[in-house]
Structure 1
Amino acid sequence: MAHSSRTAVLTAIVSNAIVTLIKFGAALISGSAAMMNEAVHSLMDTLNQGFLLIGLREGERPADQLYAFGHGQKKYLWNLWSAIGLFSIGSGLGLAHAWHSWHDLGQATAATPFTFAGWQLDPLWINLAVLGIALLLEGFSFLVAFRTFLDKMRRAGLSNPLRFLLQADDPTLVAVVLEDSVAMLGLAFAALGVGLSAISGNALWDVSFSALIAIMLGMIAFYLGYTNMRFLADMRDNEAEALFLEIVAAHHQVERCHDLRSIIIDEAHTILVAEVELREEAVVPGLHERIQIEQEAILNQLPSKRRDDAKLHCYAAARAAVIVSLKRTEEIIDELEAAIKTRLPRVSHITLEVEGISQPADLPSESPP
Structure 2
Amino acid sequence: MAGSKSVVLAALVANGAIAVLKFGAFLLTGSPSMLSETYHSISDTGNQVFLLVGIRYSKKAPSRGHPFGYGKAQFFYSFLVAVLLFGIAGWESLKHGYDAILHGHQVAPGTVTFASVTVDTVYVSVVVLLGAIAFESYAFMKAYAELRRQMDEYGWTGLVEAFRSTSDVTTLTAFTEDAIALGGAVIALVGIVLSRVTGNHIYDAVSAAIIGVLLMGFALALAWENKRLLLGESAPKGLESDFQSIIREHPGVTHVDRFRTMFVGPSGILVTADVSFDPDLVTDDIDADIGRIEEKLRARDDRVRFVYVEPEL
Deviation at residue 167 of structure 1 after TM alignment = 2.6
Amino acid at match of 1:67: H
Q: Does 1:179 align with 2:136?
A: no
Q: Which segment is superposed worse, 215-224 or 59-68?
A: 59-68
Amino acid at match of 1:156: Y
Name the counterpart of 2:240.
241
Name the counterpart of 2:308.
351
Q: Does 1:189 align with 2:183?
A: no
Q: How does 1:93-112 map to 2 (within 5 A)?
A: 93-105=92-104, 108-109=106-107, 111-112=109-110
SS in structure 2 at match of 1:252: coil
SS in structure 2 at match of 1:271: strand
Distance 1:235 1:19 in 2: 36
Amino acid at match of 1:133: G
Deviation at residue 111 of structure 1 after TM alignment = 2.9
Name the counterpart of 1:41.
40
Name the counterpart of 1:158.
156
Distance 2:248 2:142 in 1: 43
Question: Is the 1:20–1:43 Cα contact (8 Å) retained in structure 2?
Answer: yes
Distance 1:249 1:326 in 2: 19
Amino acid at match of 1:137: F
Deviation at residue 158 of structure 1 after TM alignment = 3.3
Q: Percent identity of the aligned residues? A: 27
Query: TM-score scaled by structure 2?
Result: 0.94
Distance 1:21 1:132 in 2: 14
Deviation at residue 267 of structure 1 after TM alignment = 2.7
Question: Is the 2:70–2:265 Cα contact (8 Å) retained in structure 1?
Answer: no
Q: Which segment is superposed worse, 148-157 or 6-15?
A: 148-157
Distance 2:263 2:84 in 1: 25
Q: Does 1:340 align with 2:297?
A: yes
Deviations 1:26-60 (A, max 9, x none): 01110110111011101100001111111111111
Distance 2:272 2:178 in 1: 39
Deviations 1:110-148 (A, max 9, x none): 634212222222111111111111122222111222122
Distance 1:349 1:240 in 2: 15
Q: Does 1:6 align with 2:5?
A: yes
- The answer to which structure, 1 or 2, has the higher relative contact order (CA under 8 A, 6+ apart) is 2
SS in structure 2 at match of 1:334: helix
Q: Which segment is superposed worse, 180-189 or 329-338?
A: 329-338
Distance 1:16 1:87 in 2: 14
Question: Is the 1:272–1:349 Cα contact (8 Å) retained in structure 2?
Answer: yes
Question: Is the 1:113–1:123 Cα contact (8 Å) retained in structure 2?
Answer: yes
Name the counterpart of 2:89.
90
Q: How many residues align?
A: 312
Q: How does 1:1-369 map to 2 (within 5 A)?
A: 2-105=1-104, 108-109=106-107, 111-237=109-235, 238-280=237-279, 283-284=280-281, 325-356=282-313
Structure 1 pair 167/276, CA: closer, same or farther in 2 (3 Å)? closer
Q: Which runs of 5+ in 2 are unaligned?
A: none
Deviation at residue 204 of structure 1 after TM alignment = 0.5
Question: Which structure has the larger Rg over C-alpha atoms?
Answer: 1
SS in structure 1 at match of 2:64: coil
Deviations 1:223-258 (A, max 9, x none): 111111111101112445322321233223111111
Distance 1:345 1:152 in 2: 12
Q: Which segment is superposed worse, 39-48 or 82-91?
A: 82-91
Amino acid at match of 2:48: Q
Question: Is the 2:143–2:171 Cα contact (8 Å) retained in structure 1?
Answer: yes
Amino acid at match of 2:46: L
Question: Is the 1:240–1:347 Cα contact (8 Å) retained in structure 2?
Answer: no
Question: Is the 2:51–2:78 Cα contact (8 Å) retained in structure 1?
Answer: yes
Deviations 1:154-178 (A, max 9, x none): 1122342343233322111011111
Distance 2:131 2:239 in 1: 46
Question: Is the 1:94–1:210 Cα contact (8 Å) retained in structure 2?
Answer: yes
Deviation at residue 22 of structure 1 after TM alignment = 0.6
Structure 1 pair 67/97, CA: closer, same or farther in 2 (3 Å)? same
Query: TM-score scaled by structure 1?
Result: 0.81
Distance 1:274 1:159 in 2: 29
Q: Which runs of 5+ in 1 are unaligned?
A: 285-324, 357-369
Amino acid at match of 2:306: H
Deviation at residue 99 of structure 1 after TM alignment = 1.9
